[in-house]
Amino acid sequence: MLQWLLEQDFMPHGHCYFWRPDILWTHVISDAVVALAYYSIPITLVYFASKRKDIPFREVLGLFAAFIILCGTTHIMGIVTVWKPLYVIDGMIKAATALVSIVTAAVLIPLVPVALSMRSPAELEAANLLLREEVERRRTAERRLEAAVENLYRSNEELEQFASAASHDLQSPLRAVVNFTQMLRESCAGRLTSEDQEFMSYIEDGGKRMQSLITDLLQISRIGKQEAAPEPVSMDKALEQAKRQLQANIAEKGAVVEVAGPLPEVMGNVAQLTQLMQNLIGNAIKYTSAETRPHIRVSAAREENLWHFVVADNGIGIPEKHLRAVFVIFRRLHTEDEFPGTGIGLSLCKKIVEHHGGSIWAESDVGQGSRFHFTLPAVQSTTPPDR
């Protein structure tokens, strides 16, 4: 095999040039320069690939390098065969070059569409610039939003402090107005005309109404302030307590409060959850027509980490367009004469539920009744009671 490869029974290529130095050296020097140039290209490619690990089609670079080295070697053989007729080796190298060039071309052609679809560095730079501008715009918007939230938070705090202080400080002068009016009525008994009596009762009623407004406002401003950590609260107990507070109203209207199975325990503040039940059941009893005997049904169902409660009544109902508005503070759908109230009850419920991490909403069929839904966080180890 080696003998075959090194077979030299041929004429050296120099003979074809008649050993004329001008032709011979033109070929030799040109071949040498071309070979040198060819060999330098793979070195540059290897250096480039070692510096840029992210370049695409790295494997094709290897094929390129092999192809170029072989091309260079065919030129070296062009020099060798001027003096040494190693045409077999020369042919073998040419064949190898042909093979590698076919493989390179075959690999390269399908890569053309992929390469064409790739973004050019200029395009990437432009996209990058746009992206940077967008990031900057968003950062500015975010900073503005943070400042606005901070401002809102502060003014909300100030408002709450104001409401709390004002309602607290208003309590005692108001108590004085109500008490002294009562005393005046007693001490002037017999000397007052019926008109005077009427005016006196306006003062008393106004004073009492203001007292309940202040009490409700104070309650709302206290949610979330200096309270104990949430603890498991039995909603059955909260409901019982609420019913006890509403005993007079329940008895007066002959209301029935039905509970669909045992109510679960939730995480929270017992006083607030009792207040929540009291407001919802109190409203359910209050907002019924005179001919209707209030029937209230309380139920609960587990939904992942929450308990979903429903307080359903057979009252007058709420028109669809007011279903959200009723949770806004001071928003009332009736006059004081129709149904007395402060317009704070449901907004207090909303604040309590949201403070517990839940949500509250209402559904209603006018003339048939309403359903108040709210969610509260379950005690983690709680399993749903058997229904």
Of 250 and 318, which has the nearer Cβ to ligand ADP? 318
Residue 308: what are its φ and ψ, rounded to 5°?
A: -105, 115
Neighbouring C-beta atoms of residue 109, cutoff 10 Å = 9
Least distance from C-beta 326 to ligand ADP, angstroms? 4
Is residue 250 a contact point for ligand ADP (CB under 6 A)? no
Residue 62 contacts residue 42 (beta carbons within 8 Å): no
Of 74 and 364, which has the nearer Cβ to ligand ADP? 364
Of 35 and 318, which has the nearer Cβ to ligand ADP? 318
Of 281 and 306, which has the nearer Cβ to ligand ADP? 281
Least distance from C-beta 165 to ligand ADP, angstroms? 23
Q: Shortest CA distance to 12 belongs to which of 75, 79, 85?
A: 85
Rg over CA atoms, the chain: 46
Least distance from C-beta 239 to ligand ADP, angstroms? 16
Scan for tokens 């610039």, then name that residue.
129
Query: Site for ligand ADP (CB under 6 A): which residue of 178, 370, 375, 376?
Result: 370
Is residue 377 a contact point for ligand ADP (CB under 6 A)? no
Neighbouring C-beta atoms of residue 334, cutoff 10 Å = 13
Beta pairing class for 295-303 and 360-365 = unpaired
Which of these segments, 3-11, 136-144, 225-233, 308-316, binds ligand ADP (CB under 6 A)?
308-316
Is residue 313 a contact point for ligand ADP (CB under 6 A)? yes
- Return the ∠ at Cα 126 (arms to 121 and 127), rounded to 5°: 95
Least distance from C-beta 364 to ligand ADP, angstroms? 7
Q: Which positions from 16 through 75 interact with ligand ADP, judged by CB under 6 A?
A: none
- Cα dihedral 224, 309, 279, 259 in deg (nearest 10): -140
Query: Site for ligand ADP (CB under 6 A): which residue of 38, 64, 87, 287?
Result: 287
Binding mask 267-286 for ligand ADP (x = CB under 6 A): ------------x---xx--
Least distance from C-beta 340 to ligand ADP, angstroms? 8
Of 42 and 315, which has the nearer Cβ to ligand ADP? 315
E strands, the chain, are 231-234, 256-259, 265-268, 295-303, 306-312, 360-365, 369-377
Q: Give the ranges where the chain is alpha helix by DSSP (H).
A: 2-5, 21-51, 58-83, 87-117, 121-187, 194-222, 235-245, 247-253, 270-286, 345-355
CA distance 85 to 70: 19
Query: Site for ligand ADP (CB under 6 A): which residue of 316, 352, 353, 360?
Result: 316
Q: Which positions from 327 through 356 interact with ligand ADP, judged by CB under 6 A?
A: 332-334, 341-347
Could you tell me how many residues of this chain bind ligand ADP (CB under 6 A)?
A: 21
CA distance 226 to 204: 34
Tokens of 64: 């390129």
Tokens of 11: 């004429």
Residues that bind ligand ADP (CB under 6 A): 279, 283-284, 287, 313, 315-318, 326, 332-334, 341-347, 370
